[in-house]
Amino acid sequence: MSETIETLLDESRLFPPSDEFRAQANLNDPEIYARAAADPVAFWEEQAKDLDWFEPWHTALEWHRPFAKWFVGGKLNACYNCVDRHAAGPRADKIAILWEGEPGEVRKITYRELKDEVCRIANALTSLGVKKGDRVCIYLPMVPELAMTMLACARIGAAHSVVFGGFSADSLAERTNDAQAKVIVTADGGYRRGNVVPLLKITEDALSLGCASVETVLVLNRIGTPSSEPRNPKFRSWGDLVLHQSTDCPCEPMDSEDLLFILYTSGSTGKPKGIVHTTGGYLTQAAVTSKWVFDLKENDVYFCTADCGWVTGHSYIVYGPMANGATCVMYEGAPDSPDKDRFWRIIERYGVTILYTAPTAIRAFMKWGSEYPDGCDLSSLRLLGSVGEPINPEAWIWYHEVIGKKRCPVVDTWWQTETGSIMIAPLPGITATKPGSATQPLPGIVAAVMSEDGRDITPVHGALGYLACADGRDAPAKGAEVGGILAITHPWPGMTRGIYGDPDRFQKVYWDKFPNHYFPGDGTKVDEDGYFWLLGRVDDIMLVAGHNISTMEVESALVDHHAVAEAAVIGKTHELKGQAISAFVILRTGASATVDELKAHVAQKIGALARPDDIFLCADLPKTRSGKIMRRLLRDVAEGRALGDTTTLADPTIVRALKDQYEDKEG
């Protein structure tokens, strides 16, 4: 690999906050960046004081690379902060969870009711012998009991490991065993696109694969299957065990560094990692970033479309918003069930003010057409968020115009399971946004762009643009950008405390690459305003005739074509160039374009260097269950290899069909 990443895509549209938004925003004074930079640790201490602590910390940060301890000696409880302190005050009758089931049922749960429900579940878990430090695996559909069970675990000091309800028996067994969970909490089923996902049956299959640590399986009745003979002596029903429990249950005082949860990553790049998060630092960052980035206010109706099986659901459905006493909309099912306007109907029905979703969903909405959102009243919306992948400028603009009606700031948030909370994102009352850029590291977060050989090449800024690079070399010309590898250079409160049970893998994956910095695995470029443009995973970067080219930029150029709904780009081994650019493209419903036209579009948009060698038109792309494109499998297809690990795919038949079609075409 050469030292830096080529920067091709030139996006110069700028969206400053409106005066109206700025005036009412939680943060509107840019001075906060300088204050945080002057002393990040003191800055985070100030933020931690927003939480209720049973006992104060004595040391803000102990840093023994790669392990950080934040707010050492402090005692608190995450459930107390997310539930009790609201239930005991003026928010007691405020709705905490506004839930809609896929078949259409609605439940509105106030903070007072939430506390009672959480206490019942906590007492039920205690009655099963779950104690502080034990692990509980949660394998539930997106029903309120999922959030409640997470909070119940936090209440008694047990760590939860939520496994997304779309995972198979093998995946469930693997995660249960890795965490050595004592209890699995599941349901008889969940609804997804009109079908029932048989969670209990899958759990039974997982147990038969061997889950020796599991003593009890607690089963929620969601579907209403008539109670059949208990098939396994470990099964206990929710009705028998939870409903009659007392609504009193004390909150366990937890050390700031006690385990809060384990969560397995999406598995885009390989075997999932059991990411560990502790209590005080994680909750501090989740809470303040919700307030900053979403501008969360008392009267907001906040809708995050993620599943609690992903980190986004942990930090931005449960812990972050609820630490702020927010009203959170939770939806069980698919965005196109019964029709493709389901999200827009939900927004209209409940007057949603903040929407947080993923680029993969936005591209699907674009493909389905604007008539679905146009048919609903979206006037309650005031802010839009994006997370999960780089957002292509074209999708950003569509989101801004068609959903936000040009009124709502768009916040593109870069972070990962390992970082716990948002790291790079706009502050909507301060930052002028640029489509496709996550903009700048949040106050208190220090990030850099590195060369492949480990030099810090972050441009140092002056009023007129670059002054120099951090490593002392001359600054690039004005208007140019610096492309390389993203690094986080200062410890932050929400950072993972490791991979569960595997400190060596933790060191190797994240800390071997650079001697002093955290390596997230993503490429980035930084422009002359100090804005970060995430370029996708470093593993996916292509090396074409000596140039490092990011998949994201070529994909964005393709998506920029009016006929293209989605594109995935990979580097395919080429005997002369090293790698040749190969694209898989899905066209918009009813649209058409020739391969030559698409190649020409890329060449015209970002340069001949990035012109794809071949483009394969297809109907679907292989994605993880969290909706991310799995490029490594597309490389296997293009290079005629056997497919690698497909266990984290949402639908393994897609990539098999793609492989057959591709091989037919290639002859």
Binding footprint of ligand ATP on the chain (CB under 6 A) = 265-269, 272-273, 310-311, 387-390, 412-414, 416-417, 438, 520-522, 534, 537, 626, 628
The CB-of-554 to ligand ATP minimum distance in angstroms stands at: 15
Quick one: 464 exposed, middle or buried, by C-beta within 10 A (0-12, 13-18, 19+)?
exposed
- Residue 108: CB partners within 8 Å, gap ≥ 6? 95, 97, 98, 99
**Minimum distance of ligand ATP from residue 452's CB (angstroms):** 18
Closest CA to 15 of 391, 461, 407: 407
Instruction: In angstroms, give the least distance from the CB of 623 to ligand ATP.
Output: 10
Minimal distance in Å, beta carbon 455 to ligand ATP? Answer: 22
Give the strands of the sheet with 274-278, arranged side by side.
Answer: 235-237, 216-220, 183-187, 135-139, 159-162, 259-264, 274-278, 498-499
Give the nearer residue to ligand ATP in terms of CB position, either 292 or 414. 414
As measured in angstroms, the least distance from the Cβ of 410 to ligand ATP is 11
Closer residue to ligand ATP, CB minimum distance, 242 or 534 = 534
- Looking up tokens 């470029």 gives 525
- Smaller CB separation from ligand ATP, 269 or 458: 269
For residue 314, what is the DSSP state? I
Place of tokens 């591209």: 363
Residue 411 Cβ vs ligand ATP, minimum distance, rounded to whole Å: 9
Tokens describing residue 12: 């110069």
Q: How far is the CB of 354 from ligand ATP (least distance, A)?
A: 16
Contact 220, 240 (CB under 8 A): no
Task: Pick the closer one to ligand ATP by CB: 149 or 315.
Answer: 315
Residues 589 and 367: beta-carbon distance below 8 Å: yes
Q: Name the minimum Å distance from CB 580 to ligand ATP.
A: 24
Among residues 448 and 580, whose Cβ is nearest to ligand ATP?
448
**Could you tell me the smallest distance in angstroms from the CB atom of residue 482 to ligand ATP?**
17
Q: Which is nearer to ligand ATP, 183 or 649 (CB)?
A: 649
Residue among 391 and 402 whose Cβ is closer to ligand ATP: 391
Closer by beta carbon to ligand ATP, 444 or else 521: 521
Nearest to 135 by CA among 174, 177, 93: 177
Give the residue with the Cβ less far from ligand ATP, 144 or 523: 523
In angstroms, what is the minimal distance from the CB of 175 to ligand ATP? 12
Q: Closest approach of Cβ 449 to ligand ATP, in Å?
A: 14
CB of 48 to ligand ATP, least distance (A): 24
| 267 vs 325, beta carbon nearer ligand ATP | 267
* Of residues 71 and 514, the one with the C-beta less far from ligand ATP: 514
| Helix ranges, 111-245 (H) | 111-127, 144-156, 169-179, 199-208, 238-241
Q: Which is nearer to ligand ATP, 269 or 451 (CB)?
A: 269
Give phi and psi for 559, each to the nearest 5: -65, -25
Cα-flanking dihedrals φ and ψ of residue 420, to 5°?
Answer: 80, -45
- Give the contacts of 228 (CB within 8 A, at least 6 positions apart): none
Asked if 525 and 484 count as a contact pair (C-beta separation under 8 A), the reply is: yes
Residue position matching structure tokens 């001949």: 608
Strands 465-469 and 67-72: unpaired
Cα distance between residue 442 and residue 439, in whole Å: 9
Cα radius of gyration (the chain): 24
One DSSP character per residue, 476-536 reads PPTT--EEEEEEE-S--TT---EETT-HHHHIIIIISSSSSSB--SEEEEE-TT--EEEEE
Residue owning tokens 């650019």 = 581
* Pairing mode of beta strands 95-100, 327-331: parallel
